[in-house]
Chain A
Amino acid sequence: MTVARSVIYLEEVATGAAVEAELRDAIEEAQLADWQTKWQPALLAVLQELIRKGVSPASWPQSWHWDWRRKAAGVQGLLAFRGFAVVAQGETQGLAQVNLTGVAREQSQAGKPLVYLDYVEVAPWNRPELGSRPRLRGIGTALVAAAAMLSDDEGFKGRIGLHSLPQADDFYRRRCGMSDLGPDAAYQGLRYFEMTPTQARAFLAEEDGR
């Protein structure tokens, strides 16, 4: 399989400079290796720091993964699905897995096909919610844009859907302009968001970069 690579740009938070990056339309072994050897130890370091500071486990980041074995198995499984990876500075900066079997719930689009994002995660060093200044910014936008573009390519008119982690609700609601369809009891109460064709056009609009 040939992996398509799009040149994108991320913001280096410390300097505000543009950093050239690649958006790849596949997750390859190298990404899983980065996850294993770089993401996981980085998260472990965060946990060590939280313990050192005496932060109660109940206040730890919501996406902290207790069971690395289960998590690793899940990440290994990403190879079998369609996915996206953002690579910059020689490292995997973000990952997303999508499937094309989703069906829209939003009232005006109900029943129509969409690209569903099973999984979106960025490298620990880019996650402001972990307490440190992120290194690079714009990875989430790139992954959502990739999913919307794929949806368009597939004839789904940019429709995408996902279940957001609680801390990320604001990103999907306000920064991506998606419709918030509320908590989904069948999905551990995570809020379900959809991007309609109109919202996708606005999100991907070339002239709208404000």
Chain B
Amino acid sequence: MKLVRSKEWWMSRARREGDAAVGAGLLAFDPVPNERPTAAQTETAEENRIAFGKFVRLMRRRRGLSMEKLAEQADIDASELLVIESGSTHLPGARTVFKLAQVFDVSQPRLMELAGLATANDVGLREEAVRFAARSEALHKLTPEESAVLDSFVAVLSGKGSKRTT
């Protein structure tokens, strides 16, 4: 099939198109970001989610990985990793959390809970998550304190550390 029109025809049509968006079809369409289930909108889930994002970011930085590199290592979408680290209301996919747990060598069920994919019924984990989220900051390099907080939280997620009750 050949479509033959003059340069002037194409240019006038391009100008007519202006700044209009042109996407069509479901393949070009994507629904609004995942809605969180009602249970996950509780304060606990919110705290855990923030901690999950911070945990992923610090673990990545400790390893000196870019988002793309970690996404490649974990075989997950870089876009989802970006959203997780941003602490937005996005509910990550179970596979994503599973792969991150593998890469970081922590307990998959606990990371699922932290990410909001499993019922958050572990009070100790929640307290540790809040403590971790409150103490960690997004700096270019991990401070010794951040490192210690991260180590302690990794131990909790790995099921090796003791959960404080205070």
Which residues from chain A sit less than 8 Å from chain B, CB to CB? 4, 6, 8-11, 18, 23, 25, 43-44, 47-48, 51, 57-58, 60, 62-69, 71, 74-75, 94, 97, 117-122, 127-129, 134, 137-143, 145-146, 149-150, 153, 162-165, 167-168, 170-172, 175, 187-188, 190, 206, 209-210
**CB-nearest residue of chain B to A203:** B13
Other-chain contact of B3, A6, A47, A129 (Cβ < 8 Å): A6
- Most A CB within 10 A of own CB, among B2, B6, B10, B12: B10
Assign chain B's interface to a size class.
Answer: 35 or more
**A62 x B26 contact (CB < 8 A):** no
Complex formed: what's the CA distance from A48 to B80 in Å? 11
Q: How far is the CB of A93 from chain B (nearest CB, A)?
A: 11
Given the contacts A63-B30, A69-B77, A139 and B22 also touching, CB distance less than 8 Å: yes
Q: Which of B55-80 contact A (CB under 8 A)?
A: 77-80
- CB within 8 Å: A-B pair count: 180
- Most B CB within 10 A of own CB, among A117, A165, A187, A190: A165
Q: Which of B10-55 contact A (CB under 8 A)?
A: 10-34
**A149 x B77 contact (CB < 8 A):** no
Complex formed: what's the CA distance from A119 to B1 in Å? 19
Complex formed: what's the CA distance from A175 to B16 in Å? 7
**B28 x A63 contact (CB < 8 A):** yes
27 contacting pairs across A/B (C-beta < 8 A): A6-B3, A11-B14, A44-B79, A63-B29, A66-B33, A66-B77, A66-B79, A75-B27, A121-B23, A128-B21, A134-B19, A137-B15, A137-B19, A138-B11, A138-B14, A138-B15, A140-B17, A141-B10, A146-B3, A149-B1, A150-B1, A163-B24, A163-B25, A165-B23, A170-B21, A175-B18, A209-B12
Q: How far is the CB of B100 from chain A (nearest CB, A)?
A: 15
Q: Which of B69-125 contact A (CB under 8 A)?
A: 77-80, 82-83, 86, 88-90, 93
**A188 x B82 contact (CB < 8 A):** no
**Which A residues are in CB contact (< 8 Å) with B82?**
44, 47-48, 51
**B30 x A65 contact (CB < 8 A):** yes
**A6 x B27 contact (CB < 8 A):** no
Q: How far is the CB of B125 from chain A (nearest CB, A)?
A: 26
Which residues from chain B sit less than 8 Å from chain A, CB to CB? 1-34, 77-80, 82-83, 86, 88-90, 93
**Which A residues are in CB contact (< 8 Å) with B8?**
209
Given the contacts A60-B33, A62-B30, A97 and B10 also touching, CB distance less than 8 Å: no
Complex formed: what's the CA distance from A149 to B2 in Å? 8
**A165 x B21 contact (CB < 8 A):** yes
**Which A residues are in CB contact (< 8 Å) with B11?**
9, 11, 18, 138, 209
- Other A-B contacts than A6-B2, A10-B10, A175-B16, 17 sampled, CB-CB below 8 A, are A8-B10, A51-B88, A57-B33, A58-B32, A63-B28, A65-B79, A66-B90, A67-B30, A117-B25, A118-B27, A121-B28, A137-B15, A137-B17, A141-B17, A162-B24, A165-B29, A209-B6
